[in-house]
Structure 1
């Protein structure tokens, strides 16, 4: 959204994302502040089910509402369906919290990554790890390698774009505060002022109504939108974001005592193949999209 966030939903999408099964494998771990957070998280150990959570004995997980497919299913994060819901429960299990010990709260995307105390232990919401965001919050290791994509109405000039230059004159849109918007402003650099939306729902409506020609979102979301929601649009192509190490990470309060333990859980899920399995289950039926350069 994403991030990226962000945002949306499940239909078949390409085996291309299986590469993302290696997904978090190259998560960029940098800065002394990250090392400090990890040390803080592991200093007291990661005793299963006995972490310093907001509510003793319960792990509280945040995400936005609505919660979109393929990341979540039926707008019900608690049902364990959808890639991020499944990842959240897998992380919780590694930390010693079975499903019945996991509680969900609504955490708007824009607020989850800003300074201030959080009402969740970690948030999962297609949030791309970035140096700027690390000034305000902690991140776990990456759990998904991200590629951004552009979708366009089939009858628009943008639909025939073969490269980034072909999109510069198009009326583009993206959700505020996301990596998608960064791609619009910093990679495409359109000659027409892009439209910025508070949510992907508003962005999709604008695309459907012809107010914008094309919309930038993460790749799984792009396939879902064109397959289930705006069927007179198509995936034009993807950008090379993943090659630059963009990843989604779990968001924690700045300096959280849980950061190290949560990262350790994510790393374990990568090592034992769980992340790859969940990605294949929820994200890997997509059709490959050409790379726009």
Structure 2
């Protein structure tokens, strides 16, 4: 009987030792490309939209490292110890990105603004970019004469569903019934077709819109920031503690001037643009 008890004790000690060794190994691997908390250890799995648009990403290819967000991701991945070939992209809609629930990737990026409401159902990284809002209109639009929010409330607005642009037009400008579109293509077509007078969008998107997608359109004005929109953050499944590791890398990129350099390369606007305040 004593031999059997001794064997049980030995097995228990061995199991405890194995568990301790495993825990130590796991801890040692954290914040490395082999981190077991990654969706797929050995790679950084990132979600973005389909399609993607300049100046955020170029040629509808997030993997080419061109455009502000693509270049930012690869700089971030390198800072975290990943080779470029270890970055894996998946696609999802904006609505899927901001929906609660499990995510089949490590984090998402597609100009997602950090807000209090979204932070209740997802975990966000520190803000990596704070964009301004812009008013885009076709030549001759009534919005070109606007000098106040009261003037802006008199024109026909178009915005994309589920975005902080919609919140801004309704809650900050005070427009009661803006036209809402499911995607950017429909929004821009409505602008060209004179179905709406103005579009509110982030300034970098407005720059590309007026340069390439709707070259006849112009940026009529810059709008003051929304205090409820903290800027763009990477979005994680609620409670994902990879965010601490990612935030450390973001902080290093900021301190080294990498993010400022990418902003200067891809997102700078004309400093002479008019600003409309309330």
Q: Same fold (TM over 0.5)?
A: yes
- The size of the alignment, in residue pairs, is 249
Are 1:146 and 1:246, in contact at CA under 8 Å, matched by a contact in 2?
Answer: no
Please give the per-residue CA displacement for 1:223-259, whole angstroms capped at 9, x wherever unaligned.
2111212122211111221677631000111001211
> Are residue 154 (structure 1) and residue 131 (structure 2) matched?
no
Please give the per-residue CA displacement for 1:29-81, whole angstroms capped at 9, x wherever unaligned.
xxxxxxxxxxxxxx878532122211120110110011000000001001000
Could you tell which deviates more after superposition, 236-245 or 170-179? 236-245
Match of residue 210, structure 2, among 226, 251, 273: 226
SS at match of 1:143: coil
Shift of 1:167: 1.1
* Distance in 1 (alpha carbons) for counterparts of 2:213 and 2:47: 25
Shift of 1:84: 0.2
Are 1:145 and 1:242, in contact at CA under 8 Å, matched by a contact in 2?
Answer: no
* Distance in 2 (alpha carbons) for counterparts of 1:130 and 1:44: 34
C-alpha spacing 1:242/1:145, structure 2 compared with 1 (3 Å): farther
> Are residue 81 (structure 1) and residue 66 (structure 2) matched?
yes
Q: Give the corresponding residue for 2:263.
A: 279
Shift of 1:278: 1.1
* Distance in 2 (alpha carbons) for counterparts of 1:81 and 1:144: 17
Are 2:172 and 2:226, in contact at CA under 8 Å, matched by a contact in 1?
Answer: no
Q: Give the corresponding residue for 1:200.
A: 184
Shift of 1:160: 2.0
Q: Pairwise CA RMSD of aligned residues?
A: 1.6
Which consecutive segments of 4 or more residues in structure 1 shift more than 6 A?
Answer: 242-245
> Are residue 55 (structure 1) and residue 40 (structure 2) matched?
yes
SS at match of 1:145: coil
Are 1:226 and 1:235, in contact at CA under 8 Å, matched by a contact in 2?
Answer: yes
* Distance in 2 (alpha carbons) for counterparts of 1:221 and 1:206: 17
SS at match of 1:174: strand
Instruction: Tell me: higher relative CO, structure 1 or 2? Use CA pairs within 8 A at least 6 residues apart.
Output: 1
Structure 2 regions of 5+ residues with no counterpart?
1-26
Shift of 1:206: 0.7
> Are residue 249 (structure 1) and residue 221 (structure 2) matched?
no
* Distance in 1 (alpha carbons) for counterparts of 2:29 and 2:70: 26
SS at match of 1:211: coil
Match of residue 169, structure 1, among 141, 154, 157: 154
TM-score, normalised relative to structure 1? 0.81
Q: Give the corresponding residue for 1:124.
A: 109
Please give the per-residue CA displacement for 1:172-208, whole angstroms capped at 9, x wherever unaligned.
01111111111110111125x2111111111011101
Shift of 1:151: 0.7
> Are residue 104 (structure 1) and residue 89 (structure 2) matched?
yes
* Distance in 1 (alpha carbons) for counterparts of 2:84 and 2:256: 20
TM-score, normalised relative to structure 2? 0.85
C-alpha spacing 1:224/1:272, structure 2 compared with 1 (3 Å): same
> Are residue 214 (structure 1) and residue 198 (structure 2) matched?
yes
Structure 1 regions of 5+ residues with no counterpart?
1-42
- Structure of greater Rg: 2
